[in-house]
Structure formats: structure tokens, C-alpha cells
Amino acid sequence: MTFDTIAMQVFNGLSLFTVLVLMALGLAIVFGLMGVINMAHGELMAMGAYATYATAALFERFFPSLMGIYFLVGIVVAFVVTFVFGYALERGLIRFLYKRPLDTMLATWGLGLILQQLFRSVFGPREVGVPTERWLEGAWHITGSISLPLGRIFIIGLTIVVSATVYLLLFRSRWGLRIRAVTQNRDMSGAAGINTARVDAVTFAFGCGLAGIAGSSFTMLASTGPTTGQQYVVDTFIVVVFGGVDSLLGTFLSAFLISQQQSGLELFLTGSMAKAAMLLMVIVVLYFRPNGLFAMRVRR
Amino acid sequence: MTKTIRRRQILKGSALTAAGLGLAPLMRPRKAAAAEPIKVGILHSLTGTIAIAEASVVDAEKLAIEEINGRGGVMGRKIEPITEDGASDWPTFAEKARKLLDRDGVACIFGCYTSASRKAVLPVMEKSKGLLYYPTYYEGLEQSPNIMYTAQEATQSVIAAVDWLAKNRGKTFFLIGSDYIWPRTTNKIAKPTIAKVGGKVVGEDYFPLGHIEFSSVINKIKASKAEVILSTVVGGSNVAFYKQLAAAGITGKSQALLALAVSEEELSGIGPENAAGFLSCMGYFQSVKEPANEKFVKAFKAKYGAKRVTGDTLECGYTSVYLWKLAAEKAGSFDVPKVVAASSELAWDAPEGKIKFHKSNHHLWKHARIGEFGKDGQVKILYESPLIEPNPFPKIL
């Protein structure tokens, strides 16, 4: 094992960490803070990815000279589309199911299936890919065998920006204060003059928008198909549940642990075995700490 | 009170319906056999995950049927295709196969893509004495009296690929694949073959279907200094795999990559720019120079649009229909045992060149072709093997 291999491995682990964080942040808000088990979360990521794909197609058609920045626009479009969809979803469906978590699961699962078929009808059953931006192609060569792919560096940067924004919004803004108040004590917040219904809708939509950003950035790594969401949603739930559902910090730490273990083990085991080992760790930890690794509160 | 009456009514109603369904075929007046079209089944996934790959095989099979009908059909009878959707769900495949055989009475079925769907359909075919033409390259290890296999079994591609790679690209191999039966069987055949040509396996790795994170294994591949990467990664994972390879600077020049499961069709999803420079081994490419292929590609594009491409499975589906027609004509009957018997050593000038059925094992003698992907998504053929004998049960396993 040379130094170069180890250096690359550290980078790979870091990269996987940011991918997982990006995936899980939206769900951490929707599931963790609001308690909505959104089985269609993966489809929202796919929606973000398709929004980016559509943006790319539009730019190619109408503004070919601006292709260099379509991806940045695509991320914004993905956020807006999924945010609006999430808002409508909360108003039209989720809000009637707040007190019925099992029904929420079923309803959102069904919604996921509907969305999958919708993607299939609109974009076709074939997987689609977006063109890679010139400035994200290739890698940053540090030495002969250490080269850091630019796309990954971009995702790391994007995750930092998104995480910082989430932190500022939740813990340093008026809106975040309201969300935390509502999740801690809905009745008291209502009595104190907070429009809880509105806070719910915006929070849910924001979580969906984050899923859209995640889906959008993953178009750089993989292609998008109608069932892409299903591939992401399991990992997403694992990260959130493993970290402790109601702890945002836990989501980060759990993403870090899982990614380091996964990418480290892949070096010594086959990919499938590494995944199995990771799931085994999750099972063992959840057996002893059913509320998740970093659950802060025990009393409910 | 009302409850019992209702139940009785329902029972009565359903009994009548069942009787009606059972009687319906008997009551239909029999027309003269010559004018009546002959029914065949088409059974692929039109919805669900595998629809990506299967939907276009249906297009090719329908094209062949249309062509045959345009020239007067089979023994004077037009072919009437009945299309059923397997919905990427294996029990559904079995159920629809049963429906096609028992209810519609089809003469044969063209269908299935994954081995799992074929394995689900197999007992139905054997029980109802049906006939299935299976158009996908697969791992071998099967030979049903009621199935004709019209694509490559594993030895027909992997042995040719390993031989060629060892001669032309290098002798240290890294094997990477998706984690299910086809890649694992293929690599089981590949390993003794690599040893035989004096090569060495320096790494072997499998990933769950749909996996998109390949950076660690790419790191391993780099560290292993393998000259050749032999890939049996399937489906959407390939996009991630190729994009990440390109970003890591593996472009097929210093380390060659040969894919056993990527045809021109999959390439449109992967993005040709991500795969350019990589190699592929298949029985057929759109760029095959054969008069029959020029005709096939032209007809396919005329019917489905100039942007569509043909590929291996698609061509095998098209060929299947013709092979069934020829066998039926040779036998002078649509009877399954007679058609099967007539298929022995049956030859045809397919788009992929002259092929013929094996004397007894229901597989085809086929060419293996190795080509390089270009930026236009087409394949430049570098090597073409002579006809290879099918060997679905290789001794090395």
C-alpha cells in the first residue's frame, strides 16, 4: 500500500461523505424535524436530476453559447421545481396525514410509484445523461498518481455551501427559530402567534428542494432513469436513521462514519461485501442504540 | 340475509363467467387454416426497470414480422403478434406466458431478457409444450427442449475476448462486474482462459446492481497496474463507472477496458463521450459490414426513426423471428417438436453474418466481434472471429 493509494482513498471517503450528506440533508429535515416518513424522497431527487437534464436540453437548443454555465442554472432550477412541488405536496396531501405516520408511508410510497411512471412517460424508459461541463471535466493532478476529479471537488464545495446555508437558516434566522419552536411544541407555538401550517409547508418544501439539489448534482456522477430515486432512497434513510432521526449533527456524523467505512473496506473486500459489512454495522449499532447513534434526547 | 343472497349471486355469476370463458374457444367457428393468421407471442417488459433494454427488442421483432407478412407470411399464413408486458416482474412473465400458450394458443413466443425472467417462464414452456426464442446473451448452463437460445452464451464471447486482449492489449487482467449470476459465471470462464493464454488476474470485484460509487475500485485498478480491465458491469452503473474512470484519467489508452455488456443502445444512456476509446465484445454491432445488415439497419431506421440504433439483443430478436419462420417452413408444420427438430443445423444469413443452429444444443454457432467505441456512439470493429461452437455447459465450471 503506497502513500498515493492512501491519499486517494482519503479523498474518496471524503467525496462519498459529501455525497451522502447532500442526499440526507433534505430527508433529515423532512423526516427528522417534521417526522414525515417520505418514501418518495428518492423520486424528488430524480425530479431534480430530470430538471437539470431538461435545463441542459433547453440551453443546448436556445442558448448554446451559455452551455458553460447551464449546470449552475440547472441546480437552481432543480431546487425551484422540487421546492414548488414539495409545497404543493404538503398542502395537498401530507398535511392531512401528520397524525397518521403509517398512512403517510403508504401515501408517499404510492406517490413515488406515480412519479416513476410519470418520468417514464415524459422522459422515456431509457436512462438519460447530461453533458459534462468543460470546467468540471478531468482532474486536478497533484502528483503522478494522485489526481482529484474536478466533479468531485465541485460536489464537496456544493455540500459545504448547502450545509452552511441550512445551518444559517435553521439556527441563525427567524424562520429557523419558528421551525424549531413548532417541532418542539406545536400548540405553544401556535398560541404564541406562529402560523404553524405555513411553517410546516415551507419546511417540507425546503427539505424537498434540498433533495432536488442533491439529485441535480448527482447527474455529474451517474445517469438518471425513472427508478434512479429508488437507488438513492435506501442509503438516504440509512444515513438519517443511523445518525439519530432528530439530530442534524447526527446525520453528518453518521454520513461520515458510513462513508469512511464503505470506501475503506472497498479497498480490501469486494464492493458487495463492503456494503454488507456497512449494513451489518448499522444493524448492530441500532440494536444497542435504537434511537440512532447520536440521538440526544431520549424522552419524547 | 342480504349477505347470503349476494354471495350466492356472485358465485353463480362467476361460475357462468368461468364456463363462458372455457367455452368461448370451442364455440368460435373454425375457418380454413390457409387464410387464418398464425398467432405468435411477444413477451418483453414494456414497463418497469428492464423496459430500458427490452422495449426496443419488441420493435425489432415486430419489424421482422412485418417484413415476413409483406412477403406473404409463413406457408401462406400471416403472422399475428400478440404482445404482452412482463412488467420487469418475474411472476408476471410466467403468468403472461401461460396466458399466451393456453388462452391464445400461440405457435411460439419471442421474449424474455433477463435470466431471471427466462427461468420463471421455463417451467411454463415445458409444461404447456410451448416454444420460446430467447434473444439475450447470457451465462449458459441451460438447455431446455422448449427454448431456442439465439444470442451468445458466455463462452462464445468471453473466450474470444480474452484471447484477443492477451494478444493485443496485455496479459494482466482486472475483472469487475455487477453482482449476479451472469458476471460471476462469465468471470469463472474467464479465469481459466486467462491462465491458459499465460495471463494473470490481478484483481476481481463485484458491485450491487445500480451501484454508482466506483472511486475506490478505480483506485484499486490503478494500484494493481492491470493492463486490461474486463468489465461485466451492467445497466445504469456503467455511466457512473465510465464517468469516474474518465475523471481518474483511465481512457482506454494506458489501461484498456473491454465491456461484455455494453452495446450501441446502452451507449446512448451512458453518453458516447464517456465511453469513447473503450472496447466492447458482442456478436453483432450496427457497423457490421454484411448486405443483410445494411438492409436491416435501413429498414429499422425507416420504421422507427433515423436516430435509433441497432444492437446485439435487438438483432437477435429480429433473427429469432426469421429462424422460427425457416424452421416451420422446413418442417412444414407449426408443431413445436417438429419446428425444434427442423431447427437442428438450420442456417440463415442474418444481419450479423451467416449463423446456424447447433446440431442438438438449441444454441447458435456465432461470431464474436471486438470493437472500439467512437465519439459518435458507433463501434469500429477491430476483430471478427470465425463461427464459434456454442458450449452452454463448459467443462471448466
- Residues B79-119 have pLDDT tens digits of 999 999 998 888 999 999 999 999 999 999 999 998 989 99
B82 touches chain A (CB under 8 A): no
Q: Which residues, at least 6 apart from A50, have a Cβ–Cβ distance to it below 8 Å?
A: A119, A122, A123, A128, A215, A224
B/e letters for A125-162, b = 16+ CB within 10 Å, e = fewer, are bbbbbbbbbeebebbeeeeebbbbbbbbbbbbebbeeb
Per-residue pLDDT of B164-209, as tens digits, reads 999 999 999 999 998 888 899 999 999 999 999 999 999 999 988 7
- 3-state helix, strand and coil shares in percent for chain A, rounded to the nearest 5: 75, 5, 20
Per-residue pLDDT of B281-333, as tens digits, reads 999 999 999 999 999 999 999 999 998 999 999 999 999 999 999 999 999 99
- B272-279: average pLDDT: 88
A267 touches chain B (CB under 8 A): yes
Strands (E), B116-171: 132-134, 147-149
Average pLDDT, chain A: 88
| pLDDT attached to residue A214 | 94
Sorting pLDDT into bands at 50, 70 and 90, what band is A148? Answer: confident
**Residue of B243, B262, B308 to mutate when probing chain A, most A C-beta within 10 A:** B243
Average pLDDT, chain B: 88
> Which chain A positions have a beta carbon within 8 Å of B223's beta carbon?
1-2, 5
Inform me whether the pLDDT recorded for A297 exceeds 60.
no
Inform me whether the pLDDT recorded for A80 exceeds 70.
yes
Q: How far is B215 from chain A (nearest CA, A)?
A: 6
Sorting pLDDT into bands at 50, 70 and 90, what band is B25? Answer: very low
Q: Which residues, at least 6 apart from B314, have a Cβ–Cβ distance to it below 8 Å?
A: B56, B57, B59, B60, B265, B300
Of A101-115, B11-25, B359-373, give the lowest mean pLDDT range: B11-25
- CB atoms A126 and B52 under 8 Å: yes
- A95-117: average pLDDT: 91
B2 touches chain A (CB under 8 A): no
Residues facing B173 on adjacent strands: B201, B228
What pTM was computed for the model? Answer: 0.80
- B361-373: average pLDDT: 96
This model of the complex carries an ipTM of: 0.75
Residue written as grid cell 400478440: B82
Per-residue pLDDT of B343-365, as tens digits, reads 999 999 999 999 999 999 999 99
Of B52, B205, B206, the CB nearest to A127: B52
Q: Are B386 and B367 in contact (CB under 8 A)?
A: yes
The better pLDDT of the pair A293, B42 is held by B42
Alpha-carbon span A250 to B35, nearest angstrom: 73
Inform me whether the pLDDT recorded for B54 exceeds 90.
no
Per-residue pLDDT of B248-275, as tens digits, reads 888 888 889 999 988 898 887 777 888 8
**Angle between helix A174-184 and helix A196-218 axes, rounded to 10 deg:** 110
Give the residue among A78, A12, A68 at the shortest CA–CA distance from A46.
A78
> Which chain A positions have a beta carbon within 8 Å of B220's beta carbon?
266-267
- B221-244: average pLDDT: 88
Q: Are A92 and A67 in contact (CB under 8 A)?
A: no
Per-residue pLDDT of A149-173, as tens digits, reads 888 899 999 999 999 999 999 999 9
Of B211, B236, B247, the CB nearest to A225: B236
| pLDDT attached to residue B29 | 46
Alpha-carbon span B136 to B261, nearest angstrom: 11
> Which chain B positions have a beta carbon within 8 Å of A9's beta carbon?
216, 219
- 3-state helix, strand and coil shares in percent for chain B, rounded to the nearest 5: 45, 20, 35
Q: Are A139 and B247 in contact (CB under 8 A)?
A: yes
Mapped onto helix, strand or coil, the DSSP state of residue B351 is coil
Q: Are A162 and A206 in contact (CB under 8 A)?
A: no
| pLDDT attached to residue B12 | 53
Q: Are B189 and B229 in contact (CB under 8 A)?
A: no
Inform me whether the pLDDT recorded for A89 exceeds 50.
yes
> Which chain B positions have a beta carbon within 8 Å of A151's beta carbon?
243, 247
Inform me whether the pLDDT recorded for B30 exceeds 60.
no
Residue B360 CA: distances (Å) to CA of A117, B121, B320, B342, B346:
43, 21, 17, 11, 11
In the DSSP assignment, the letter for residue B252 is S
> Which chain A positions have a beta carbon within 8 Å of B211's beta carbon?
271
Q: How far is A37 from chain B (nearest CA, A)?
A: 24
Per-residue pLDDT of A167-202, as tens digits, reads 999 999 998 999 889 888 888 999 999 999 999 999
Inform me whether the pLDDT recorded for B2 exceeds 60.
no
Inform me whether the pLDDT recorded for A283 exceeds 50.
yes
